[in-house]
Amino acid sequence: MRNDDLVKLSFRSLFANKLRSFLTTLGIVIGVFAIIMLVSIGTGLQSYITKQVSSLGSNLIFVIPGTNEGRGPGGIVVNKLVENDAKNLQLRLRNLAEVAPLVLQSSTIKYKSKTDKQAQVAGTTANYPKVIKEIKLDRGRFFTEGQEKAGAKLAVIGSTVVERLFPNEDPIGKVISIGSNRYTVIATAQERGAIFGIDQDNFVGIPIGAAKKQFGVSNVTGIYMSANSPELVPIVKKQTEEVLLKRLTEDEFTVQTAESSLATVSSITNILTIALGGIAAISLLVGGIGVANIMLVSVTERTREIGLRKALGAKRKDILKQFLLEAVILSVTGGIIGIIFGMGASFIVAIFLFSTVTYWSVFLAFGFSVMIGIIFGMAPAIRASKLSPIEALRYE
């Protein structure tokens, strides 16, 4: 039998049982849709996090208390970082990097009757703008080293704080309250947006000495550094560890670079994407079992037809090809529809959250659906081809 006749006969058989063919195809559609959708979300999440980390700057280096293991669930981190560590680092890294210690606390900020209850107060040094170069000032200027040492109560506020406390007036020169202490606003920062869902503009920068008194702490939350060039990052990291190990142990601090943070995040999101794809593949496997089940039922129902065709001269390979072709048609059709729905849904999700369609996920899903059709259609096709024409004609 010619191949084109086999194709026509296969389509005719499938259309003779439209509802059954539709329900069988639906299992493949859902499986392919799930693979593309979930992998797209995982890839989109990875892309989003990568952009967020990259926006911090490739030259940035962070010193934080404890180790990554200690910061896990149930871990206890004892903070032994102090401002003097930052001073020692600045002396050692004078021609390699800029250094700024940080004391971070959430606090309520007030101005007259207006309140910002979720502001991040950052106690730091006059060197901070040289470290975090993304901070640009709209008005005013950052506090100086002299003002910092004098214990002046000055504040630099972000655009969100300006909107909440000073919607209709110039904040420069105004006095805000942090707890029971009052600070004079000397500058406002340009909008930076959110990172990982955290508003970077809802902050108040004050001198580190004032911050330690404000919150009653002697330690610093962390130490930020910015290497003078990306090539110097490994050198700065190594020298930072050498300086800190003179006073602290390896378990009492961690030096992280933007690149190492990105590598850690990427490994996690890669595992997540693979896991999501694997979960979706299970649904496609279930769809394949549905194809095998329906094809076996079809073989049973068409036993007399098979016997008649064999009696009229149809070869075993013709019967094998036909039933295998029917299974593949169901899988390929389901795969194409699943791709259309999966890509469409991913583009819609991308409008509201993060989703990135990757070509490899599309080809993988489609290839898997075709393979499902061949594998799960093979057993019914072989069974049909082996039927004896005499026994098949006797079948009731």
pLDDT of 193 reads 74
Tell whether 274 and 371 lie within a shared domain: yes
pLDDT of 306 reads 61
pLDDT of 70 reads 47
Residue 68 located in a structural domain: no
pLDDT of 395 reads 47
Q: List, for residues 291-345, the tens digit of each pLDDT value.
A: 777 666 666 655 666 666 666 566 767 677 777 777 788 888 888 888 898 888 8
Domain containing residue 139: 81-247
Tell whether 290 and 154 lie within a shared domain: no
Q: Is the pLDDT at 58 greater than 60, yes or no? A: yes
pLDDT of 239 reads 92
DSSP structure string for 24-53: HHHHHHHHHHHHHHHHHHHHHHHHHHHHHH
Tell whether 117 and 232 lie within a shared domain: yes
**Which range (169-178, 219-228, 269-278, 365-374) has the least confidence?**
269-278
pLDDT of 102 reads 92
- At position 56, the amino acid (one-letter code) is L
- Residue that is last in its domain, among 192, 218, 247: 247
Which is more confident, 257 or 310? 257
Q: CA angle, 332 as apex, 326 and 337 as ends, to 5°?
A: 130
Tell whether 365 and 316 lie within a shared domain: yes
Tell whether 205 and 345 lie within a shared domain: no
pTM over 0.95: no
pLDDT band at residue 72 under the 50/70/90 scheme: very low
The rounded mean pLDDT for the chain is 79
Tell whether 31 and 106 lie within a shared domain: no
H-state helical runs in 227-386: 233-244, 258-301, 303-311, 316-352, 359-385
Residue 347 located in a structural domain: yes
Q: Is the pLDDT at 380 greater than 50, yes or no? A: yes
pLDDT of 243 reads 92
Tell whether 32 and 93 lie within a shared domain: no
Residue with tokens 């190492």: 260
Tell whether 360 and 305 lie within a shared domain: yes
Tell whether 141 and 198 lie within a shared domain: yes
Q: Which two tokens stand for residue 293?
A: 């089940």
Q: Which two tokens stand for residue 173?
A: 């020169």
Tell whether 211 and 296 lie within a shared domain: no
Tell whether 320 and 192 lie within a shared domain: no
Residue 88 located in a structural domain: yes
pLDDT of 88 reads 92
Which is more confident, 164 or 276? 164
Please, what's the b/e burial string for 322-357 (b: 16 or more CB within 10 A of its CB; e: otherwise)? bbbbbbbbbbbbbbbbbbebbbebbeebeeeebbbb
Smallest CA-to-CA distance from 138 within 110, 168, 159 is with: 159
How many structural domains are present in the chain? 2
